[in-house]
């Protein structure tokens, strides 16, 4: 079962996503994609670690190359595990702007999500809704919003269930 959890900032996505795996009986992995750049990122990482402490997750820091988590030559997630990946927005930015160049990581990210879905018993992917504010942004940011929107749309198509968190209320969309 693959669930995509989406919503705006501070809307309860993380809490809801963790609850989805709360009663999962097997090994549970939390794939953290936020690179620790600056104090704000570190504060968010510390906050998320505290929130999931004691919930049975093994944390895997993975900022890019998600599909490598199922490749035999790297750390390998076991078949039938539970996976919470947080979050697509960070993963997309990390892939898109690596090495000071802009690329479109859509296929690479979706391939990784497909591999995670294939090996896991339960996969929960958290993403952000960043393209609804109607504000015009500079070219690089506008391209990021477009690419993340495409990744989110295609991930939603792959998912068995899509849930939008609105003011802490989960609303099932699919």
Structure tokens at 169: 């209320």
Alpha-carbon distance 76 to 124, whole Å? 18
Where does residue 33 fall: left (phi above 0), alpha (psi -120 to 50 degrees), or beta otherwise?
A: alpha
| Catalytic annotation, pick one of 4, 16, 29, 48 | 48
30: enclosing H helix or E strand: strand 28-32
Contact by Cβ (8 Å): 43, 49: no
Q: Is 15 a catalytic residue?
A: no
Closest CA to 149 of 83, 85, 96: 96
| Radius of gyration of the chain, Cα coordinates, nearest whole angstrom | 15
Catalytic positions:
48
């Amino acid at each position: 079962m693959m669930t995509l959890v989406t919503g705006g900032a501070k809307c309860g996505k993380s809490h809801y996503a963790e609850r989805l795996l709360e009663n999962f009986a097997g090994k549970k992995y939390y794939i953290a994609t936020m690179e620790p750049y600056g104090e704000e990122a570190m504060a968010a990482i510390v906050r998320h670690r505290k929130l999931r402490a004691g919930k049975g997750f093994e944390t895997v820091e993975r900022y890019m190359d998600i599909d490598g988590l199922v490749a035999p030559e790297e750390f390998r997630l076991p078949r039938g595990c539970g996976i919470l990946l947080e979050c697509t927005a960070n993963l997309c930015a990390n892939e898109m702007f690596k090495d000071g160049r802009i690329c479109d990581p859509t296929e690479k990210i979706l391939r990784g999500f497909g591999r995670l879905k294939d090996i896991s018993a339960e996969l929960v992917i958290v993403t952000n809704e960043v393209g609804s504010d109607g504000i015009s942004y500079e070219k690089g940011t506008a391209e990021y919003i477009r690419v993340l929107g495409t990744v989110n749309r295609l991930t939603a198509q792959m998912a068995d269930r899509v849930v939008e968190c609105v003011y802490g209320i989960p609303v099932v969309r699919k």
